[in-house]
């Protein structure tokens, strides 16, 4: 058996799949190695909510039986993964990252987990998260049952919310891939901060059945992986219609980058101030190199801007109103006061006071946002922007601290995360370089159900760069 060194722990899905088929090691050996690593190193990053070693070994034995009989179920067969702790796993605690739900157990698997298990993937653990996925808003990274998500590149930095444990675990080689969720930035932010590749799917493409609800009209489940190719392989499995999710789009996804438009056929829209004026001066050269790398693919680049609409206000109103409705029983019981973050407690309570007229007004403006994107995507196919304007924040830094640095008058695409989530658009976060030893990332955003275009462009970008291959020491 080959030794389980970092080359195994940081391998991509196709690389591990090929090794399993070649019998270089068994799925059980792989599951044991990853489980031990997750149990040993997961607490270092506050990334581990629950080890599922025994269950993983059983799943791995089934994978080995199939592999011996040459029953190949696909590229995820025998591959270790982790799931954010808002996804139900039958008979196991699902805490939603919050003390009031520490003893919560469901008798069924979330649809995404069920589909992955059926594909032969091996669930080795549940990964920590910001409590209640950040519902109500929070001020400090410590707003989690396991403590603040620590960044494998620098333990004094945040791994990002709310899928903090998934970001840390993938970046540190504790799992090959993980499931995260995004309502407004919770896949893109930890992916960018931790230097992994993260995909926010189109709203409704992946079932949320068995996942904690925060905002019914905005929640999305997606993969966080080593590469764009890995994201496509996972999305192919977890996507698809589900009658148990009323918002399901009823669409499936087949990962076929060879069928996507060639780079020279793709029109990319960007706003130069997003890269060269808004970020700190120290990170601008990295973003400039990233833009040049995208240009080198042969895409057609043109300047674009988002229309002047209140993206942040609309997003916060919708999430606050829907989140307060979801957690009304928690608020009414008084157990909301057990949460770790005082700002979040106050925010959830305040959400109950949002008037129906304000929520409906936000939803009306939201339809204008969707229409604005339809018009924008008649001019371009993909939007390009920094995933985050800078590297991971310090653990003890207030997340609502205002920047003293003046921002450019040109708004560019800086509101792309709230705007894209309002419109239900897919987005792909790609590592693009480092500053001070910390990762930076760009994001690609497309029209609904254009995941293959984003992934093919991301795959081509990563074939010419190696940022996604870098490992924290």
How many Cα atoms within 13 Å fall on the side-chain side of residue 77? 20
84 is a catalytic site residue? yes
The single residue of 163, 168, 184, 186 carrying the catalytic annotation is: 186
Whole-angstrom Cα distance, residue 437 to residue 433? Answer: 9
Beta-carbon count within 10 A of 183 CB: 25
**CA angle in degrees (0–180, nearest 5) for 124-130-132:** 100
Q: What φ, ψ does residue 344 adopt, rounded to 5°?
A: -65, -40
> Where is 435: in which H helix or E strand?
strand 427-435
Pairing assessment for the beta strands 48-51 and 122-127 based on DSSP bridges: antiparallel
| C-alpha closest to that of 382 among 285, 297, 463 | 297
- Name residues whose C-beta falls within 8 Å of residue 325's C-beta, 6 or more positions apart in sequence: 351
Token duo for residue 129 = 């998260």
From its phi and psi, is residue 234 left (phi > 0), alpha (psi between -120 and 50) or beta? alpha
Whole-angstrom Cα distance, residue 314 to residue 249? Answer: 23
For residue 428, is the peptide bond before it cis, meaning its omega torsion is within 30 degrees of 0?
no
162 is a catalytic site residue? yes
Token duo for residue 88 = 């139900």
Alpha helices in 10-156 (DSSP H): 13-21, 27-41, 53-68, 111-118
The single residue of 144, 162, 168, 207 carrying the catalytic annotation is: 162
| C-alpha closest to that of 138 among 359, 329, 340 | 340
Token duo for residue 348 = 């959830």
| Local structure of 211: helix, strand or coil | strand
Whole-angstrom Cα distance, residue 378 to residue 341? Answer: 43
Token duo for residue 124 = 């080795």
The single residue of 26, 35, 84, 248 carrying the catalytic annotation is: 84
Whole-angstrom Cα distance, residue 239 to residue 256? Answer: 14
Token duo for residue 36 = 């031990």
- Name residues whose C-beta falls within 8 Å of residue 307's C-beta, 6 or more positions apart in sequence: 372
| C-alpha closest to that of 287 among 191, 189, 382, 385 | 385
Active-site positions?
Answer: 84, 162, 186
């Amino acid at each position: 058996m080959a030794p389980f060194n970092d080359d195994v722990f940081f391998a991509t899905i196709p690389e591990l799949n090929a090794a399993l088929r070649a019998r270089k090691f068994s799925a059980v050996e792989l599951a044991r190695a990853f489980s031990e690593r997750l149990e040993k190193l997961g607490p270092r990053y506050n990334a581990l909510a629950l080890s599922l070693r025994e269950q993983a070994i059983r799943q791995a034995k089934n994978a080995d039986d199939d592999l011996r009989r040459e029953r190949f179920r696909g590229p995820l067969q025998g591959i270790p993964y982790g799931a954010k702790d808002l996804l139900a796993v039958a008979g196991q605690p699902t805490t939603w990252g919050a003390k009031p739900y520490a003893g919560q157990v469901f008798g069924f698997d979330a649809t995404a987990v069920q589909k992955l298990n059926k594909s032969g993937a091996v669930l080795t653990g549940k990964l920590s998260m910001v409590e209640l996925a950040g519902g109500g808003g929070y001020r400090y990274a410590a707003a989690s049952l396991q403590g603040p998500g620590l960044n494998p590149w620098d333990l004094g930095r945040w791994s990002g919310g709310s899928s903090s444990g998934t970001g840390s675990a993938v970046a540190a080689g504790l799992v090959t891939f993980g499931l995260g969720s995004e309502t407004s930035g919770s896949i893109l932010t930890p992916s960018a901060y931790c230097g992994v590749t993260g995909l926010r799917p189109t709203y409704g493409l992946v079932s949320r059945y068995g996942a904690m609800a925060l905002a019914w009209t905005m929640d999305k489940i997606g993969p966080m992986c080593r590469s764009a190719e890995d994201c496509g392989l996972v999305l192919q499995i977890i996507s698809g219609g589900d009658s148990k999710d009323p918002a399901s789009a009823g669409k499936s996804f087949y990962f076929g980058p060879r069928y996507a438009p060639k780079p020279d056929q793709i029109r990319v829209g960007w706003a130069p101030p997003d890269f060269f004026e808004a970020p700190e001066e120290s990170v601008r050269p990295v973003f400039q190199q990233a833009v040049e790398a995208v240009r080198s693919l042969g895409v057609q680049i043109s300047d674009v801007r988002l229309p002047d609409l209140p993206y942040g206000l609309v997003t916060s109103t919708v999430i606050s109103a829907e989140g307060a409705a979801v957690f009304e029983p928690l608020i009414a019981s008084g157990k909301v006061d057990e949460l770790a973050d005082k700002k979040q407690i106050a925010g959830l309570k305040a959400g109950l006071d949002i008037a129906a007229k304000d929520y409906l007004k936000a939803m009306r403006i939201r339809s204008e946002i969707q229409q604005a994107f339809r018009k924008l995507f008649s001019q371009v196919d993909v939007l390009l922007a920094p995933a985050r304007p800078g590297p991971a924040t310090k653990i003890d830094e207030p997340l609502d601290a205002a920047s003293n640095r003046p921002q450019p008058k040109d708004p560019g695409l800086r509101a792309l995360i709230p705007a894209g989530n309002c419109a239900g658009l897919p987005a792909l976060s790609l590592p693009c370089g480092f500053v001070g030893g910390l990762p930076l990332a760009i994001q690609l955003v497309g029209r609904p159900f254009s995941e293959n275009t984003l992934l093919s462009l991301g795959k081509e970008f990563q074939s010419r760069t190696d940022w996604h291959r870098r490992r924290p020491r």
